[in-house]
Chain A
Amino acid sequence: MLYQTKIRMIEIFKNMQAVRHKFVVSQKVYEAFQQCSGDYNPLHTKVEFAKEKGFKECVMYGNILNAFVSMLIGECLPTKDVMINSQDITYRQPVFLNDELDAELTVEKIYESVNVVDFKFRFNNVNGKTVARGHIQISVI
């Protein structure tokens, strides 16, 4: 019975439409991540430092986007019976405070033999530019 349930679960990813979700890197998100990570690097906390390095203001933590990916996997898939196996991300543009990001998550490959799904994801800013993209692999548990 367990085996049949897993087979059916993996089936739901075959015709799954892309998951789309809007995120905002708000002050609350920024502070929560800062406290969680303990990362107070001046690029993220000192405007003067960020400007010296060529940015208009403090650059947001790239790994905030990984937290958003966690939400996409944990909350937006057609089943909650999932676990993240691996994840990679490439940053292409800096993200700043209060930026709105459109996330898109699509199925890339399904490994039915081991109930594994590969996804690719990207985050676009309001100008339509991709700020980050990557891949994430999950197991259906």
Chain B
Amino acid sequence: MEKERILAEVQDIFRDVLDNDDLEINFNTVADDVDEWDSLSHIQLVVGIEKHFGLHFTSQQITKWKDVGAMCDDIATSI
């Protein structure tokens, strides 16, 4: 799957989990850029992504995510 397509699907997950239909994210987006993205919502974002794409990440993987782009890279290599 193309990274742009993955980003679009990840954005839908972010909008649902963070309850913000207007949220726009890009590959450079980090938690500090999004008010609703805190440590608790991060858990729900990871769970939502794992469910949606049928993936299982490791804690080592997700601690290396510096931005949404890194998240999408891991998704792309795992599906």
Interface residues of A (CB under 8 A from B): 3, 6-7, 85, 111-116, 137, 139
- Chain A residues near B44 (CB, 8 Å)? 85
Interchain CB contact under 8 A, B47 and A114: yes
- Chain B residues near A3 (CB, 8 Å)? 59
Within 8 A of A (CB), among B8-40: 40
- Chain A residues near B62 (CB, 8 Å)? 113-114
Interchain CB contact under 8 A, B58 and A111: no
Tell me the bound Cα distance from A139 to B43 in angstroms.
Answer: 9
Tell me the bound Cα distance from A113 to B44 in angstroms.
Answer: 11
Q: Smallest distance from the beta carbon of A13 to chain B beta carbons, Å?
A: 15
- Chain A residues near B43 (CB, 8 Å)? 85, 114, 116, 139
Indicate whether B53 reaches chain A with its CB closer than 8 angstroms. no
Determine which residue in A6, A114, A115, A116 has the highest number of CB atoms from chain B within 10 A of its CB, and name it.
A114
Indicate whether B46 reaches chain A with its CB closer than 8 angstroms. yes
Q: Out of A85, A113, A139, which one reaches B61, CB within 8 Å?
A: A113
Determine which residue in A85, A111, A139 has the highest number of CB atoms from chain B within 10 A of its CB, and name it.
A111
Q: Can you name 30 A-B residue pairings with CB atoms under 8 Å? A: A3-B59, A6-B59, A7-B59, A85-B40, A85-B43, A85-B44, A111-B46, A111-B47, A111-B50, A111-B56, A112-B56, A112-B58, A112-B59, A113-B46, A113-B50, A113-B56, A113-B57, A113-B59, A113-B61, A113-B62, A114-B42, A114-B46, A114-B47, A114-B59, A114-B62, A115-B59, A116-B43, A116-B47, A137-B47, A139-B43
